[in-house]
């Protein structure tokens, strides 16, 4: 039974991080404000989880200005995409084998 759970990535055990990765997986990039609105997150909560995923190199961040206003965009990295797919496959294996 333990072998079914060994491929789960601890980074995605938190529902906010799972949500962030889900949104970024299906979009080329997403702004901070869009993530905040989509996930119904507070600034502090979202920022801390984004920082954690960025530290793991699962997401990248780019900052720019639009009409003199700061804009922060997030995107999933190749290593993040690979890790997330591995996690999703592990969840499917658990469901199929229980």
pLDDT at 18: 97
Cβ of 37: how many Cβ atoms within 10 Å? 10
Q: What is the pTM of this model?
A: 0.91
Residues 31 and 65: beta-carbon distance below 8 Å: no
Written as six digits, the tokens of 31 are: 């702004």
For residue 53, give both structure tokens.
Answer: 């995923």
| Number of domains comprising the chain | 1
The pLDDT value given to residue 79: 98
Query: Is residue 73 helix, strand or coil?
Result: strand
Q: Domain range holding 89?
A: 2-97
Contact of 52 with 83, CB cutoff 8 Å: no
The Cα–Cα gap between 73 and 29 comes to 6
> Residues in the chain with pLDDT < 70?
1-2
CATH number, domain containing residue 15: 1.10.10.10
């Amino acid at each position: 039974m333990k072998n079914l759970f060994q491929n789960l990535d601890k980074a995605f055990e938190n529902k906010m991080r799972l949500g962030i990765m889900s949104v970024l997986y299906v979009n080329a990039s997403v702004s901070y404000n869009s993530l905040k609105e989509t996930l119904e997150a507070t600034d502090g909560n979202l920022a801390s989880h984004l920082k954690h995923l960025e530290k793991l190199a699962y997401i990248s961040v780019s900052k720019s200005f639009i009409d003199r206003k700061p804009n922060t965009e997030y995107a999933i990295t190749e290593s993040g995409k690979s890790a997330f797919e591995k996690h999703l496959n592990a969840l499917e294996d658990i469901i199929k084998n229980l």
